[in-house]
Amino acid sequence: MLTCIIRYQIDPTKKAQFEEYSRNWGRAIPRCGADLIGYYAPHEGSSTLAYGIYNVASLADYEAYRARLSADPLGRENYEFAQKEKFLLREDRTFLKLASAPHGDSA
């Protein structure tokens, strides 16, 4: 299992647009095949840092998921919304593998 963490730099004056964008992905991402953990908007501290986090089984599954997402009507609409509203200033993706499992110590 891989976890994709998308780090966004957002326009702090357009937090409401980012939250709408996040809710839209909350519907589109799961139906296109990724396990969405969530989207996170700034609350305290940085007013420009936000995250989107989801799991995929492999990079091959990620590529298939991205193809489904780009064909999804809400996915296309949401991408166009972000382009039009210009609230995303930067977007970086990192794929991580869980290293701490199993959690806890049975001894």
For residue 17, name the pLDDT band (cuts at 50, 70, 90): very high
The strand ranges marked E within the chain are 2-10, 35-40, 49-56, 88-96
Locate the domains of the chain by residue range: 2-96
SS3 assignment, position 11 = coil
CATH ID of 2-96, from 3.40.50.300, 3.30.70.100, 3.40.50.620, 3.90.1300.10? 3.30.70.100
This prediction has a pTM of 0.89
Does 103 score more than 90 pLDDT? no
Answer for the pair 87, 79: CB distance below 8 angstroms, yes or no.
no
β-sheet bridge partners, residue 37: none
β-sheet bridge partners, residue 6: 52, 93
Q: Which residues have a Cβ under 8 Å from the Cβ of 37 and sit 6 or more positions away?
A: 3, 53, 54, 55
pLDDT in tens, 79-88: 999 999 999 9
pLDDT attached to residue 107 = 59
